Structure 1
Amino acid sequence: MGFAFAERLGREGASVVIAEIDSALGAEAEKKLKAAGIDARFVQTDISSEASVAAMAKIAAQGCDGIHGVVANAGWANNVGGKLYNEITPEVWDHMMAVNVRGTWLTIRALGPLMRNGGSIVTLSSDTIYWGATKLLHYVTSKSALVGMTRSLARELGERMIRVNCLLPGLTMGEATKDIPQARWNDYAERTILNRMQQPDDLDGVVAFLLSDDAKFITGQTLAVDGGFSMH
């Protein structure tokens, strides 16, 4: 999803900074975006680390008159399912919160002061918060926290006319979901109103809209984009 967002925003004229923990993946993304004529920079970043996020923010702010938009997309989702509530270890629980909750907060904490007044932030939660996925308690809990975080941030940043909204994707095909069993993919597609699997490019237009002036009076909102799998 992160690459799809970067590509869409770059095509619309944005200079893009990619924060990614996997150096090979990040470098590959930068190369592809530049080959497409997009102004892109990759910064190796561990969003659970305050120092790493601060270093990324410093680089992101170089050579520009302020950051216009932030997409807090990074998170931990790979191979996190399969454990009941009483089988999840405290170590795994804490790591989930460190990345998905603390990491999102650290990212916005570092980049928010560097943003231009009137900018926009999009956080990434999950539609699982509406239907309560089993054997994913730590993940669903972390993504639920982002909804509350979004609402409070919207109020705190509103005086600077910075908007903060939360996007809830459904099960989306990509690196983070490549190990999900085929049976679950089939079940999800069958229960989705539009009757197909979700692709990253089903989301990039929504992100571009929320970052744009077309959404200049939308803030503090939570939007599920999952083909009708969940309704709210």
Structure 2
Amino acid sequence: MKLKRSSIFMIFAAVLLLAGGAWVYLKDRAGHYECSFGESEYASVLQWDGIVYEQNWDSPLTGLHKGKLVGEITYTTADHKCPRTVMQDGDATLLDVGTQLYEVTGYKASARLWAGDRLYDAHSNPAAKTLNDLLDIAGKIENVRFISGMDGTTHLMDFTPEAAGIFIREFPKLKYLPFQELYKQTKGWVGDNYWLEIEMKDGSTMNILYNTLSPSFNPPAYATPELAALVEQQRKLIYTK
């Protein structure tokens, strides 16, 4: 079963599964082995140059343009009953074999790629040290807002200009750590989540989750005390209007 649309957390869970999951091989009555991994339901992710990217379902695309061709998809997980357990460069969960990959003009290929006419944002990069290394967003963010966790798109409230300025400056500087590590350190990343959206100067957007118990973000990084207080303070403003 292919997912037409996924929540951020479902995508992150799928990436965890792809990175560290294992198939279970069962013996049938004839003594033959076949693999089983439950329902074949995948989020739309791909791997290129050692980086795992996830599809950005909600961003407007009109302000983005294709750059240089970098490669193509050579393996589709959903096409195989017993797919390989560890993704390799050129693998995708749902994209067709032969789908061409392009740079996104204005962004590093390590941060964003076009796959055909679909936008993919980096989720996991072993070489990244900061969120800017992962996402290439420093100097590119125009605005920050809260959005509805029910649909991931409905705008609730923009940050005040002063608060947005602080977030825009400090968020890209946060220390990146793989989500597997964040998940492990926070014992499952439990707790309430706020949904945020950052809007770029080119009109594209990116969704973020903020965990109130940790406190931390996904894309994965711990919040500084300043940013944690800022998000909570801005959240309260939604209910004072």
Which has the larger helix fraction? 1
Structure with bigger gyration radius: 2
TM over 0.5, shorter chain: no
When the two structures are superposed, what TM-score results if normalisation uses the length of structure 1? 0.29
When the two structures are superposed, what TM-score results if normalisation uses the length of structure 2? 0.28
Which has the larger strand fraction? 2
Which structure has more relative contact order (CA 8 Å, sep 6+)? It is: 1
